[in-house]
Amino acid sequence: EIVLTQSPGTLSLSPGERATLSCRASQSVSSSYLAWYQQRPGQAPRLLIYGASSRATGIPDRFSGSGSGTDFTLTISRLEPEDFAVYYCQQYGSSPPTFGQGTRLEI
Amino acid sequence: QVQLVQSGAEVKKPGASVKVSCKASGYTFTSYTIHWVRQAPGQRLEWMGWINGGNDNTKYSQNFQGRVTITRDTSASTAYMDLSSLRSEDTAVYYCARQGFSGSYSDWGQGTLVTVSS
């Protein structure tokens, strides 16, 4: 199965700053079937990005995704207070679907 | 709007089974696949399996060695996840999620906490 490794484990930033989160796959992700999810404490994950770079419905344009093959990035251009959460990447191009271990974005 | 509403928290003893339900609304149940994903305390999300709402096809993670069964009742627009031979390591929040046309999980249930303890 494809192992996803996210870095850093924790990212400490302030509102208004730019956040860059990384997701590296152990083998190439088929057709860029890579998604990013946000999870706030006590809540279910929420889809942010699919297909490596397409924003899900209702997601603000400060969130952007890029990358292909084995290296992917989620960028949050200007952090808002509600963006401080845990972010997971997921590949769904190969079975079984797998998730990264998460990056905690803290104030 | 799409909603996935899961059944309530469960406490089970080791060796028992648990069945979690996921009631869908706001879309045509038979047109989408439902996945089950769990999250143990402090762990990453783990995919368990899926069921095709239309043709009843299923696929499971090998990590559960035949302990997981996913079913659906189209008349009730509800999917079910049954996990047997529970052990303490199965203590987790269990989520159902709807697969969108992109293949990613566009909608999630609120989660069901299953605690396995003697």
Residue range A57-79, pLDDT digits in tens: 999 999 999 999 999 999 999 99
pLDDT bracket for residue B65 (50, 70, 90)? confident
Are the Cβ atoms of A35 and B95 closer than 8 angstroms?
no
Are the Cβ atoms of A90 and B105 closer than 8 angstroms?
yes
Distance from CA of B35 to the nearest CA of A (A): 10
**Residue closest to B96 by CA, chosen among B41, B43, B33:** B33
Count Cα neighbours of A85 within 13 Å in the Cβ-side half-sphere: 20
For the purposes of burial, counting CB atoms within 10 Å of the CB of A64, is it exposed (0-12), middle (13-18) or buried (19 or more)? middle
Q: Is the pLDDT of residue B114 over 80?
A: yes
B61 touches chain A (CB under 8 A): yes
pLDDT bracket for residue A30 (50, 70, 90)? confident
Chain B residues whose CB is inside 8 A of the A35 CB are: 104-105
CA–CA gap between residue B63 and residue B17 (Å, rounded): 17
**SS3 of residue B6 by DSSP:** strand
CA–CA gap between residue A47 and residue A40 (Å, rounded): 12
**SS3 of residue B98 by DSSP:** strand
Cis, bond preceding A15 (omega within 30 deg of 0) = no
pLDDT bracket for residue A31 (50, 70, 90)? confident
Nearest-CB residue to B47 (from A46, A98, A102)? A98
Are the Cβ atoms of B61 and A33 closer than 8 angstroms?
no
Nearest-CB residue to B104 (from A44, A92, A101)? A92
Chain A residues whose CB is inside 8 A of the B35 CB are: 97
Q: What is the pLDDT of residues B69-102, one digit of tens each?
A: 999 999 999 999 999 999 999 999 999 999 998 8
Nearest-CB residue to A45 (from B46, B47, B108)? B108
Count Cα neighbours of A99 within 13 Å in the Cβ-side half-sphere: 23
Distance from CA of A51 to the nearest CA of B (A): 7
Are the Cβ atoms of A50 and B104 closer than 8 angstroms?
yes
Backbone CA torsion sign across B92, B71, A43, B48: positive
Chain B residues whose CB is inside 8 A of the A58 CB are: none
Tokens coding B50: 């899926």
